[in-house]
Amino acid sequence: MSDDVVLEDLPYEELRDRAFAIAEDKRDIGFFVDLFNHSPAMIDVQDEGGSLGEIGGSIIETVRAARQAFGEESVGALQPLFVARFATYIRENS
């Protein structure tokens, strides 16, 4: 990656896809668990004292679920949080 690329300026979906590709390649399930723990759905469940349980299945299934859960329309007002998280992850793991 070029040093002159400002990751936070990339389109949301491109930034997300870059971070997901790195995590998938590294089989970093912890990255996805961290994202789900900060997702709107998890926040709603935690507010009610519930749990979504453990993430099961293959890394491919996890990535597919994450792509759907963290689409630009899905994250709403939390998009800046995820942009920062994706950019940080890319910098730390590239």
Domain segments of the chain: what residues? 7-93
pLDDT of residue 48: 44
Q: What Å distances lie between residue 45 and 1, 20, 26, 31, 34, CA to CA?
A: 37, 24, 29, 20, 15
* Confidence class for position 16, pLDDT limits 50, 70, 90: very high
Average pLDDT over residues 36-60: 58
- DSSP summary character for residue 34: H
pTM of the model: 0.77
Report CA 19 to chain centroid distance, whole Å.
7
DSSP 36-47: HHTSHHHHHHHH
Query: What are the counts of helices (DSSP H) followed by strands (DSSP E) for the chain?
Result: 6, 0
In whole angstroms, give the CA distance from residue 8 to residue 86.
9
Higher pLDDT, 69 or 45: 69
Tokens representing 63 are 């990535």
